[in-house]
Amino acid sequence: MRKIIHVDMDAFFVSVEIRDNPDLVNKPVAVGGSKQSRGVLSTSNYIARQYGVKSAMPTSIALQKCPNLILVPGRMDVYKLVSSQIREIFERYTNIIEPLSLDEAYLDVTECKLFDGSATLIAQDICSSIYKELNLTASAGIAPIKFLAKVASDLNKPNGIFVIPPNHVDSFIDDMELRKIPGVGKVTNEKLLRDNLRYGRDVKVLNLEKLISKYGKLGKLLWDRCSGNDDRPIIISRERKSIGVERTFPEDISDLSILNSILIEKLLPELQKRAITHLIENGIGKIGVKVKFSDFHQTTKELSINRIDEAALCELLKEAIGRGGGKKVRLLGIHIGLLSRNDEVEQISFEW
Ligand SMILES: [Mg+2]
């Protein structure tokens, strides 16, 4: 039986701002872009939320709901620093840490010997250390499986913990609304409600095959979660150094213009899509093209540049192909190298 803690900082960005500027205490505050620049909110504090202000809401609408809202621009470098300080606290308890974002992480404390191995006391100690040392509050969920730990961290928010002990897992899931399951969004939930599926117990009694035929992959996920099956491990992820997309062709290609159009029309949009979330936290340091030839020899051409540049990628492709001396191409990939704190080089790429 595993012991998993999901720690989630309360209104993280905005809490850091209020901590660092006492003038903001007890006022409705949000971090986000200005109304003039058609910005959206990233985070708002709990006072602002009472007015109906929410994350991802356009600033103009938030100001209609809460005219006194104080808007502050984000300071990503500060949030990253605080995030690393939080991580240092986590590391006193376990090395098995999976960050989900700057303010949220799963911790596997199964092997932690502190507090006689009580995950509840460990979670309490983590939250009080964060409060004492960083003057910020966090909430935590404790459960034997991952998704329940995440569901639980939301239940006594802010500044609270919630424990789902192993012998309560079944009854908790029975009474849990399906919309709480990570991966079940608003649209999915409405569809489930139309089928009279609201709680875990409604799904549990159904036939797995029928669920899959009706909901596909989601059907399997729902059934697994509602049956208490979630053996996904905590993934100890290192900082991502690059993002790449690549494609292996069914038949080797020798025509440069075809490779060019695959790069521009297929690979580039996919790379841009994947880059969006990471570029909030990291800048681009370089771009590159990878080519694998029909004889499996591989070459990479890179350029130091701070943006994704289509013409430059096409030029890199041309140079890389030139190295093949007329050999056909079996795989083409493009990537961006992200700037990092220590600038080590590591490649993580996605297979299509
Ligand atoms: Mg949070």
The C-alpha atoms of residue 23 and residue 67 are separated, in whole angstroms, by 18
CATH 3.30.70.270 describes domain 1-161: yes
Residues 193-243 have pLDDT tens digits of 999 999 999 998 999 999 999 888 889 999 999 999 898 888 886 556 778
Domain coordinates of the chain in residue numbers?
1-161, 169-226, 242-338
Write the CB contacts of 215 (distance below 8 Å, at least 6 apart in sequence): 222
Tell how far the Cα of 43 is from the centroid of ligand 1, in angstroms: 9
Which 3 state secondary structure label does DSSP give 309?
coil
For the beta carbon of residue 296, count every other beta carbon within 10 angstroms: 8
CATH code at 242-338: 3.30.1490.100
Active-site residues: which are they? 104
Ligand 1 midpoint to CA 149 (Å): 14
Which residues hold their Cβ within 5 A of ligand 1, which is an ion?
8-9, 103
257 alpha carbon – ligand 1 mean position (Å): 47
- In CATH, what is the architecture of 169-226? Orthogonal Bundle (1.10)
User: Residue 132, by phi and psi: left (phi above 0), alpha (psi -120 to 50) or beta?
Assistant: alpha
Query: Hey, what amino acid is at 329?
Result: V
Which pTM was predicted?
0.69
Average pLDDT of the residues in 24-39: 90
Question: How far does the centroid of ligand 1 lie from the alpha carbon of residue 295, in Å?
Answer: 49
Handedness of CA 11, 17, 22, 27 (dihedral sign): negative
**pLDDT tens for residues 313-325?**
999 999 999 999 9
pLDDT at 134 over 50: yes
